[in-house]
Amino acid sequence: MRRGILTGERLVAVFLCGCVLFNYPLLSLFDRRVDLFGIPLIYVYVFTAWAGLIALMAWFTERRGE
Amino acid sequence: MLNGPVIVVASLLYLGLLFAIAWWGDKRADQGRSVISSPTIYALSMAVYCTTWTFYGSVGRAAVSGIGFLPIYLGPTLVMALGWFLLLKMIRTAKANRITSIADFISSRYGKSLLLGGLVTVIAVVGIVPYIALQLKAVSGSVSLLLNYPEIVMPGRSTALPVFADMSFYIALILAAFTIVFGTRHLDATERHEGMVAAIALESVVKLLAFLAVGLYVTYGIYDGFADIFQYAADDDRLRRLSTAIPSGQGYTGWFSLTLLAGLAILFLPRQFQIAVVENVNESHLKRAAWLFPLYLLLINLFVLPIALGGLLHFSGQGVDADTFVLTLPMAHHQEGLALLVFIGGLSAATGMVIVETIALSTMVCNDLVMPALIHLRGAALAEASDLSRLLLRIRRGAILVILLLGYLYFRLAGEAYALVAIGLISFAAVAQFAPAMIGGMYWRGGTRGGALAGLSAGSLVWAYTLLLPSFAKSGWLATDFLTQGPFGFNLLRPQQLFGLDGLDEISHCLFWSFFANIGAYVAVSIMRSPTAAEASQARLFVDALKYARPVGAALWRGLAKVSDLTALVGRFLGPQRAESAFADYAKRHGQVAIDALEADAELVHFAESLLAGTIGSASARVMVASVAKEEPLSASEVMNILDEASQLRSYSRELERKSRELEAATRDLKSANERLQELDRVKDDIMSSVTHELRTPLTSIRAFTEMLRDDPKMRLAERERFLGLVVSESDRLARLINQTLDLAKIESGNADWRGSALDLKEVIEQSVASTSQLFNEKGARVELDLQSGLPSILADRDRLIQVMLNLLSNAVKFLPLNAGRVCVSLRAGAQGLEVGVADNGPGIRVQDQQVIFEKFRQVGDSLTNKPAGTGLGLPISRRIIEHFGGRLWVDSVPGEGATFRFFLPFAPDNGV
């Protein structure tokens, strides 16, 4: 029971984190004409942050035991 | 290779495969071996979210607004993180109340209101029709593109053609037929379609693979990786802007609105509700879906921008619609197989959406629109019909056909003027209107039917005015003056700059005003009066859905009913046989043999109502049940009392369960403690009786001899000395007995004084043999030593070990034959320790006695007369000592051939082996 509540809290944290990562003003920091490995920075940023959030969610929901 | 027949055959084969999978899934479900009870399949089926809008439209939007298409997938990702709470609550509520659609959910929440269910259905149908039009547009567009291969010809304006010459019309009919066969073959009380879900999961895999294939081909086949495409794009100033910035027309507000809109859509689109809530088989599947579904979205979007840039670079200035790049890029490079795969992927995306969406909508239309109307208008005729299940199926099939034809109609009227994404967003904004009533309904008890009606009406009217009508106007179906001047020249009422609100994109604009009206009306009307009994009771069921252990609906009904009326009623809608078996199941669960034995109590009425609710919706079910059962209305305060009791009872029963568990544990502990005490008590009694018995023997003889000495003063000196000698030896025996009893008691109670030290066993044995040599001499016996030398030391108490050796040796002496006795003492090293043996050639010990001799006060002898000398405590003490040092003491003996007592002691730990 306790673990379920904790997982829920972690997922809410992921949600809030995502809300900040994918909105103004953080987004505007990466919205500039800079390339990373030849790929526009904003493209790299959005996909990396997105993948990171998914990894966090997977980690929080799939692991067993503490 | 790409020609008409190939395309048709490939499509039909693919649809046939889907159908086979659905049929197989249904069959397995009937056998109780569900194929979809896997969290992965659940997550994949949620990807029905990705329609042709994603498959073709994302690229189209990316070609206009760069990464502006991403919020449509970021929103759902974020909401899935909250799915743990939101979806879980929706699933629990829906299961507890047999809710089968979003209209049912809202209507049920606000007091099972027929009006509300109907309104939600109308909004959903009107809102979703453009979305279905979009699928038709995409499929017919992809077919006509392929038919012109190897030329790349944009689909002409099919609206110029008469309806019967228009391919889209036939595609709509085929999709309708397919959906009807797929989703409405039989009536299910829970509205679950396991086969359909399995097919949808497969479609999700197909469309993802197809899209990834194109993406990989464009990125790594045509170009040389991501960096290469972006490099080409960077040289073109127009493209450079696309790939680097949040689009200027959209801005951060637009980005935020889209995220919010898509996040709401993932919860409230009828097809998402159907898949995520109604078709959910196990709520724990949510965990996997929470990350796997967002991962799916990420993968299907990874190559969108490269494809868009690749298309723009390749088709620059050729008038090729960006919505078609996914298909036209492989065609332009003559990749026929890939083009066909893309077409099948697009078909997957379209059919998946159309099947689930129209099934969900047809359930709503049937349960919340047509049935209430029929009951209202022709209630008497319905009451006479014996089996309405066929009628229900016909209504649903009709609804599917009508919805698809409406989609076609919208396509004819407005579809051609709009890009795919714009059409999809109109639908998203429509279903977003459900959010206040849904979320408010799940978390706020104060929301009332009036509030929900007001909010939904206001919100959807604003939506229609600011988004739907302009879509007609832009397609030329309405005069554009309406947009630029406002209706009848009222400038303030311009639909896309309402009240002069300027500077927002049309989606943000619509979202702001519609939510302003929707939430405002919902809250304002709700707080004008307190909820009625029906509203309050439903509010409690929904808001506290996670608190009730089991559905409490039955407790909220009071009245009179007859079992036969209820079975007949349910039979009319589900078919008599299915109703019969459902009631028989119910009877069995309640310990009754037959349906006739059931009592028409509140629980049975509730059961009948929930059976009906699954088939005709909760509001209609309530009306139908009310027609055969006489309900006494409950007042609001009574309802509250019942619900309070239900939730209090639950917490009491939890407390009680916890207490009784603790009590059980305590009882178990006490029981085992008691058993141990009884055992100890018995042991104590045994010892007491043995000890007193053993003490009495020497005492008796001492007393006898001393009495003889006292009573006979003339006794001869020699006689007197003999008697005194006997008294002394009996006293010794008494003293020894007492010492050993104390010793044993000490060892057993754990108070004995042990001194562990590393010692040489050989030296201990030799000393013991030396100190008993007198005993052996007296009996004329021989002692042989067979001791290995140079052995590792062991850890033990030297005095205690000598005590053991002395005991074993003196035991051996007792049983040796006179003058022919032979004792052999051996010492050997084993793998883990040392083994000592004391072998004699006495009479041996019978097998049945070999354990007995290690018990306290147990000496082995045939009778009292030949009872050996000794206390009967030596061996038990020796065994305890050896065991204390981690060893074992045992005896090997063949009667008649002597006995060998052996003990084993492990090496001292630091010695190793």
- The pLDDT value recorded for residue B248 is 55
Which domains are delineated in chain B?
4-422 (1.20.1730.10), 433-548 (no CATH), 551-634 (no CATH), 654-749 (1.10.287.130), 757-911 (3.30.565.10)
Query: pLDDT 10s per residue in chain A (66 long)?
Result: 455 677 888 888 888 998 888 887 887 777 777 777 778 888 888 899 999 999 998 888 887 644
The Cα–Cα gap between B214 and B80 comes to 28
Nearest 5°: phi and psi at B904?
-125, 135
Task: Answer whether A11's CB lies under 8 Å from B82's CB.
Answer: yes
Find how far residue A14's CA is from the centre of its chain.
7
ipTM of predicted assembly, 2 dp: 0.93
- Please report residues of B whose CB lies closer than 8 A to that of A46: 67, 70, 74
Task: Answer whether B543's CB lies under 8 Å from B443's CB.
Answer: yes
Query: Per the CB < 8 Å rule, is A57 touching B246?
Result: no
Q: Could you tell me if B255 lies within 8 Å of chain A, comparing CB atoms?
A: yes
How many other CB atoms are there within 10 angstroms of residue A43's CB atom?
A: 21
Q: Which residues of chain B have pLDDT under 50?
A: 862-867, 911-913
Helix, strand, coil percentages in chain B from 3-state DSSP, rounded to 5 = 70, 5, 25
- Which residues have C-beta within 8 Å of that of residue B348, sequence separation ≥ 6? B14, B203, B204, B206, B207, B210
Q: Which of A8, A27, A41 sits opposite B84 (nearest CB)?
A: A8
Half-sphere exposure of B136 (CA within 13 A, CB side): 31
Chain A residue with CA closest to B290: the answer is: A57
- The pLDDT value recorded for residue B149 is 75
Angle at A23 between CA A21 and CA A28, to 5 degrees: 95
DSSP character string of B682-718? HHHHHHHHHHHHHHHHHHHHHHHHHHHHHH-TT--HH
Q: Could you tell me if B92 lies within 8 Å of chain A, comparing CB atoms?
A: no
- Which residues have C-beta within 8 Å of that of residue A40, sequence separation ≥ 6? A33, A34, B230, B243, B244
Among B252, B294, B338, B277, smallest CA distance to B67 is for: B252
Distance from CA of A45 to the nearest CA of B (A): 11
The Cα–Cα gap between B811 and B822 comes to 13
**What residues are paired with B837 via a beta bridge?**
B826, B902
Q: Which of B78, B259, B287 sits opposite A62 (nearest CB)?
A: B287
Q: Could you tell me if B546 lies within 8 Å of chain A, comparing CB atoms?
A: no
Counting beta carbons within 10 angstroms of the beta carbon of residue B911, is it exposed (0 to 12), middle (13 to 18) or buried (19 or more)?
middle
Find how far residue B686's CA is from the centre of its chain.
58
The Cα–Cα gap between B407 and B415 comes to 9
Q: Which of B67, B85, B290 sits opposite A46 (nearest CB)?
A: B67
Distance from CA of A65 to the nearest CA of B (A): 15
Query: Per the CB < 8 Å rule, is A61 touching B259?
Result: no
- The pLDDT value recorded for residue B866 is 46
Q: Which two tokens stand for residue B168?
A: 């889209």
The Cα–Cα gap between B827 and B690 comes to 35
pLDDT tens-digit series, residues B325-380: 888 888 888 888 888 899 999 988 998 898 889 988 988 898 888 888 887 777 66
Counting beta carbons within 10 angstroms of the beta carbon of residue B649, is it exposed (0 to 12), middle (13 to 18) or buried (19 or more)?
middle
Distance from CA of B798 to the nearest CA of A (A): 50
Q: Buried (b) or exposed (e) across B858-897, using 16+ Cβ within 10 A?
A: ebeeeeeeeeeebbbbbbbbbbbbbebbbbebebebeeee
Among B637, B682, B697, B724, smallest CA distance to B867 is for: B697
- Please report residues of B whose CB lies closer than 8 A to that of A47: 298, 302
Task: Tell me which long-range contacts B870-873 makes (C-beta under 8 A, separation of at least 24).
Answer: B870/B810, B870/B811, B870/B814, B871/B694, B871/B733, B871/B736, B871/B737, B871/B740, B872/B690, B872/B694, B873/B737, B873/B740, B873/B741, B873/B743, B873/B744
Q: Buried (b) or exposed (e) across B776-813, using 16+ Cβ within 10 A?
A: beeeebebeeebeeebbbbbbbeebbebbbbbbbbbbb
The Cα–Cα gap between B789 and B801 comes to 18
Task: Answer whether B816's CB lies under 8 Å from B887's CB.
Answer: no
- Please report residues of B whose CB lies closer than 8 A to that of A45: none
Query: Per the CB < 8 Å rule, is A62 touching B245?
Result: no
The single residue listed with the structure tokens 């693979």 is: B209
Helix (H) or strand (E) holding B787: strand B782-787
- Please report residues of B whose CB lies closer than 8 A to that of A53: 77, 81, 294
Q: Classify strands B559-560 and A39-40 as parallel, antiparallel or unpaired.
A: unpaired
pLDDT tens-digit series, residues B511-521: 999 999 999 99
Residues in chain A whose Cβ is within 8 Å of chain B: 7-8, 11-12, 14-15, 18-19, 22-24, 27-28, 31-33, 35, 37-43, 46-47, 50-51, 53-55, 57-58, 61-62
Q: Classify strands B630-631 and B757-759 as parallel, antiparallel or unpaired.
A: unpaired
Q: Which two tokens stand for residue B571?
A: 């039979």
Task: Answer whether B838's CB lies under 8 Å from B797's CB.
Answer: no
The Cα–Cα gap between B131 and B127 comes to 8
Query: Per the CB < 8 Å rule, is A31 touching B226?
Result: no
The Cα–Cα gap between B574 and B538 comes to 25
- The pLDDT value recorded for residue B870 is 61
Q: Classify strands B833-840 and B794-796 as parallel, antiparallel or unpaired.
A: unpaired
